[in-house]
Amino acid sequence: MKKKRRIQYLFMAVWMVGWALPLAAQTLDTGIVGTVSDPAGASVAAANVTISNKATGVTRAVKTAADGKYDVRYLVPGEYTVEVQAPGFRTGRRTGVVVQINQQARIDFQLQIGEVQETVEITAAAPLLQTENATLGEVVAAERIVNLPLNGRSFVQLAVLTPGVRVYEPSLYTASTDGSRIVANGARDSWMQLNIDGITLVNNRSNYVTLFPVLDALQEFKVQSGNYSAEYGGNAGANTNLQLRSGTNRFHGSLWEFLRNDKLDARGYFRPEPFPKDILRRNQFGGVFSGPIRKDKTFFLASYEGQRAVSESAATDIVLTQQQRAGNFAGSAPVIDPLSGTQFPGNIIPQNRLNPVSVDLINKYMPLPNTSGDVNYSGVTQGRLTTDQGLVRIDQYFSQKDQVFFHYIRSRRDFPNYELNPNFYFNGTFPNSSLSAQHVHTFSPALLNEVRFGFNLANVAVLSPRYNTDFTIASLGINGLNVGGPSGRPLRPDEQGFPVIGIDGYMSMGDDQAASNLDNSRTYQVVDNLSWIRGAHSLKFGADIRRLLDDATTNNWPFGQMFFTGDITGNSAADYMLGYPRTTLTPEGVPVSKIRQWRYALYVQDDWKATPDLTLNLGLRYDLFGQPHEINGVTRTLRFDLDPNGPVLWPEPGKVEDIYKNEYKYFGPRFGFAWRLPHDMVVRGGYGIFYSAAQFDNMNILQLNPPAGGSLTVTNPADNPIATIQNPVPAALYPTNPIFNVVSIPPDRQRRNAYMQNFNFQVSRQLSQNDVLEAGWVGSKGTHVDTSLNNYNQPDPGPGPIQARRPYPQYARIRMIAPDTNTIYHSLQARYEHRLSRGLSLSTAYTWSHLIDDAAQTINMGGCGCQNPRNRGKAERASSVLDQRHRLVIGYVWELPFTQRLKGAPGAILGGWQTGGIVTFASGFPFMIRQSGDSFNNDGNWQRPDLVPGQSVTIDQKTPGVWFNTAAFQRAVLHYGNTPRNPLAGPGTNTWDLSLSKAFKMPWREGHQLLFRSEFFNAFNTPQFANPGATLGTGSFGRITSTALDNRQIQFALKYIF
């Protein structure tokens, strides 16, 4: 403990030193570097170099070193003019120098003999070749952000323009606290890091993007897909840096409205007429305004965007008829009286035998039939979405030595969701905010310091309307539903909800897990970076200190469940009306874990210009992931070393202990090189080790252990039912020694954070002033990757009672959170870019890759997918479910040339049209083949069948009706199946998202225009099929029954620009 305190004090001292320096502004290591020489190529020392921002007028001035080199860092991305003056030489000036985020643009000068008053001016093209470092990635500039078609206006969708990158985007209407992620080069979905103006913008629980800045407020962003500087870390996957726009010396703004309506959309592939189309009505509206507060000194930008949307899908179900509610089952199969063992006379239950609680609940909480036929109820499921976001950014330039920057974003998303049963829905709210205060101080042209402070706050709450009211389960007439059983803890007033009541074959009633989802994530961050240019070395030292807090729930059946199967009377509805549940699952409750953690990082980076053509990037980062503490006393794990009779839950209920044993050995070296060759070529390569902090979900789930959580199933005897809906867990059925499902960390309790080794080798060639081609090999290896072994306590397949054969028979299932997965990824990646010229901008990203692992995903993405969790390695090594062999993405913006020369009225109508698009072709993802039931007789999660000898699993002609050879699989009984993990791949992707727009110049003022825009997502209405049914023994086995993406959708927009 003393050692950990000393380490904390050391890092706090670094923090205080950083704050003692003048407070400074962050621009994400963007700069201009170069060499000044004379006509003979000799270095020109002490030349004056002045760099001016075209939009703001802000200037920076430095002198060249003895070797003629200059290096200006911490510039705001944008367009610059670079001017060089030296006695005896003409003034050299480059205009139109465009500098992108995280770029060190190289602008060299060869001065001509003459007078300083004479000027040689060259209009420069933005550098296309990356000559200063080996970082992999792609910059997405404002021109693409605002012109490419985006369904929902999310910047995340543009990350796919980077080779090796895909994105994960869930629906905004769902109850999940999961969110969007950018995934690169074999990394896990939860390994992403995303920063806005240098401050983190991801959730602590499972590492997803917490808010989406207004597109028109973004200057640009860069996806660093691999081998980035030691300045960045904390997660091993893609590092994405977003840069907000700043104001300029002129006032600018825009107002917009984007409209989606299902009447414009194509019908879903699996919803042919006469099925009704899904309904979607969406309006996104807002504006952005920027300008000067004080010319050349102070600038502002403010924006607002709102969204109002409703999504509906028609659905049907079966509800109990009025006759059934009265006990009349005439015309149905015989209904047996469980007390006499004979059929009720006339198949009618006497009124005095109907359970009054059942009658009351069915009449209040299940709707009556509204259509004829067996499927007698039709309605809609509905999701509503209301979002509002405000943003402000201030830039203050005190002098060439001091610049301050500040932003604040506040956003709120409300997403109530209504089930087909209108009596049950949830209210979802998601307020979040981001703040960054940053400032750069220049001690000298060679020494700069930058400090930033910020926070990211995100609070998801998905709750039943009964939450925090006087509602109780007992008010329904249902008693004894405590956490873990009759003798367990009662539900608190703030965790009461309607237990799920399932009647086999009928509509259910109750609040499921969607109605108790809470996640309050807060991150406070301080960063200090010191840059020192010394000769050929550009050195950077820094510290990153974060305080992470997360209060969250994890549960599946928070209020319990009763299921009426028909085993008692022969009819599930009759079982219900008599009040006899077959099984009851006791509530898990809604315990809240409160996890706290410090994270510290120190780094040094040296970008060494070893020769005029060779730059070496040498870095070392040390990440100290502090011990995560759960301060609410609700998390427990199994200890395998305390009792010789087997593992026991620890610590004592309510007691706070360090669950994990921490490690302090996370040193991450970084090496890269960039070698300029003749003929506009650059060879780049590198290697690095990147650590990924374990997500809080791995610890949060431990709250499911009793007594804070924990549930078990009680079965009612079919021939002599004891449990009733009033008392679903009677003492007579409750076991003396209950056996719970539990969650545990590994026996050694060692907290191993995953790490990934990145390696790459690439060759780039500038083909012309506006064209560049890059290709190379990119690979990674993941170690100590975490996964979820969902049933570590399953016995081997075989005959006999399952519980007695378990390795630890005192427990049911043991879900083990295990950091022991290995991954390997290799790829060929290519990128072609045509910079905007003659009205055309084009970007192409191609990836050919293979990702192999020995377990599937992380805890919040489905678990390991292994049929024998205690024997993995070679037995489970296979293509990953994240493996995508081919991926081609093309993004373009094209000003249609054949209308540009038109004049007068034809020119006003037909001229000025622009089209853009994102075209995606991609292979499908592998999937697993499983079998239904428990033929292994081991309670296993992922039971795989046997392969049929002589049968090929694939077929030549794939169709949605038959995607693979189902005859190639047969049920494995009492032994592990020999079908390998993920033997087949699903359908690929073929989408064309297109836009067509025209700008109308307004006659009343120059620079004002009205932009009309139409966007077509999946423009050619190509079905994008989901994976086929993959469970042997089900009716959908081998058949595709749904689509992964929507059919064609159309969006219109108007934007007024001034």
- d(CA 958, CA 962) in angstroms, rounded, equals 6
Residue 323 clears pLDDT 70, i.e. is over it: yes
Kindly report the average pLDDT of the chain as a whole number.
Answer: 91
- Is the per-residue pLDDT at 13 higher than 60? no
Contacting residues for 97 by C-beta, under 8 A, at least 6 apart:
32, 79, 80, 81, 82, 105, 107, 124, 126
pLDDT at 862: 65
pLDDT of 160 strictly over 60: yes
Which region among 28-42, 83-97, 498-512 has the lowest average model confidence (pLDDT)? 28-42
Q: Is the dihedral of CA 562, 566, 567, 569 positive or negative?
A: positive
Residue 19 pLDDT > 50? no
When computed from its CA atoms, the radius of gyration of the chain, rounded to whole angstroms, is 32
Instruction: Write down the pLDDT at residue 9.
Output: 41
What pLDDT is attached to residue 105?
A: 86
Q: What is the average per-residue pLDDT within 909-917? A: 86
Answer yes or no: is pLDDT of 420 > 70: yes
pLDDT at residue number 4: 47
Residue 127 above 80 pLDDT? Answer: no
- The 10s digit of each residue's pLDDT in 139-151 is 998 889 999 999 9
pLDDT at position 177: 53
Residue 309: HSE in the Cβ half-sphere, 13 Å Cα cutoff: 27
Give the pTM: 0.90
CA 410, CA 299: separation in Å to the nearest integer? Answer: 20
- Could you tell me which residues are beta bridge partners of residue 287? 255, 304
Return the bridge partners of 425, or none: 418
Residue 198 has pLDDT above 50, yes or no: yes
Reported as a single tens digit per residue, the pLDDT across 815-854 is 999 899 999 999 999 999 998 888 899 999 999 999 999 9
- d(CA 408, CA 433) in angstroms, rounded, equals 7
The Cα–Cα gap between 284 and 307 comes to 4
What are the tokens at 972? 């494995």
Measured CA angle at 588 (ends 587, 594), to 5 deg: 150
CA 1052 to each of CA 149, 151, 324, 471, 1019: distance values in angstroms, whole numbers, following the listed order: 11, 11, 50, 45, 14
Polymer length in residues for the chain? 1058
pLDDT band at 173 (very low <50, low <70, confident <90, very high): low
> Which pLDDT does position 371 carry in this prediction?
94
pLDDT at 387: 96
Separation of alpha carbons 989 and 1024, rounded Å: 6
Residue 40 has pLDDT above 90, yes or no: no
**Quick one: CATH architecture of 2-127?**
Sandwich (2.60)
Strand partners, 833: 772, 843
pLDDT tens digits, one per residue of 588-614: 888 899 999 999 999 999 999 999 999
pLDDT for 872 equals 84
pLDDT at res. 23:
33
pLDDT value at 861 more than 80: no
SS in 3 state form for 27-80? CCCCEEEEEEECCCCCECCCCEEEEEECCCCCEEEEECCCCCEEEECCCCCEEE
Sign of the dihedral defined by the CA atoms of residues 769, 771, 775, 781, in that order? positive
**Domain map (residue ranges) of the chain:** 2-127, 829-1058
Give the pLDDT mean for 307-312.
95
Phi then psi for residue 486, to 5 deg, are -55, -35
Percent pLDDT > 70 in the chain is 95
* Residues contacting 991, CB < 8 A, separation 6+: 918, 919, 920, 1017, 1018, 1022, 1024, 1045
Mean pLDDT of all residues in 929-941: 95
> Predicted confidence band at 910 (pLDDT cuts at 50, 70, 90)?
confident
Of residues 496, 671, 481, 713, the one with CA closest to residue 583? 713
634 pLDDT higher than 70: yes
pLDDT of residue 537: 94
Across the range 891-912, mean pLDDT stands at 77
Separation between Cα atoms, residue 107 and residue 124, nearest integer Å: 9
CA distance 689 to 757: 5
Q: What is the mean pLDDT of residues 16-37?
A: 59
d(CA 831, CA 225): 13
Per-residue pLDDT band for 186 (boundaries 50, 70, 90) equals: very high
pLDDT category of residue 860 using cuts at 50, 70 and 90 = low
Q: Report the percentage of the chain scoring pLDDT > 90.
A: 71
Would the pLDDT of 17 be above 60? no
DSSP calls for 186-245: T--GGG-EEEETTEE-B-TTT--B-----GGGEEEEEEEEES--TT--SSSS-EEEEEE-
Min mean pLDDT across 497-506, 789-798, 857-866, 1005-1014 is at 857-866
Mean pLDDT calculated for residue range 765-789 = 95
pLDDT band at 642 (very low <50, low <70, confident <90, very high): very high
Token readout for 498 is 């309607």
CA 742/CA 703 separation, integer angstroms: 10
Average pLDDT on 355-363 reads 98
pLDDT score of 801 more than 70: yes
Q: What would the 3-class secondary structure string for 66-125 be?
A: CCCEEEECCCCCEEEEEEEECCCECEEEEEEEEECCCCEEECCEECCECCCCCEEEEECC
Phi, psi of 310 (to 5 degrees): -140, 135
CA distance 513 to 281: 27
The burial class, CB within 10 Å (0-12 / 13-18 / 19+), for 678 is exposed
